[in-house]
Amino acid sequence: MKQFIKDLFNDNNTINEKAVVGFIAFLMLVIALIIDIITGWSGKELVINQFIFDGFMVITLGAFGIASVDKWINKTKDNNNGTTKEGSEGSEG
């Protein structure tokens, strides 16, 4: 875990920070859902401020959306830079 934290703040890492933040926000939403179900079974109401829930939801959607768009843009750039194999069939003579 200590190495993961070090790698997370390293400039030359392979960790997608947006995905880490999105996953943590998604985990918080799931925990809130589970606690809401448990308190509902016990007959009590769990009071979560709407803006807090909406904040985690926006962070989750934003982080995963930005990560997906970033992946798509990088894939498009790779295709435009000629890294794909085009014209791999040679002419025989």
- Dump the DSSP string for 21-78: HHHHHHHHHHHHHHHHHHHHHTT------HHHHHHHHHHHHHHHHHHHHHHHHHHHHH
Predicted TM-score (pTM) of the model is 0.60
**Which has the closest alpha carbon to 55: 25, 30, 24?**
25
State the chain's mean pLDDT as an integer: 76
Residue for token digits 């904040």?
55
pLDDT (average), residues 45-62: 81
pLDDT tens for 6-50 read 777 777 777 777 778 888 888 988 888 888 888 888 888 877 777
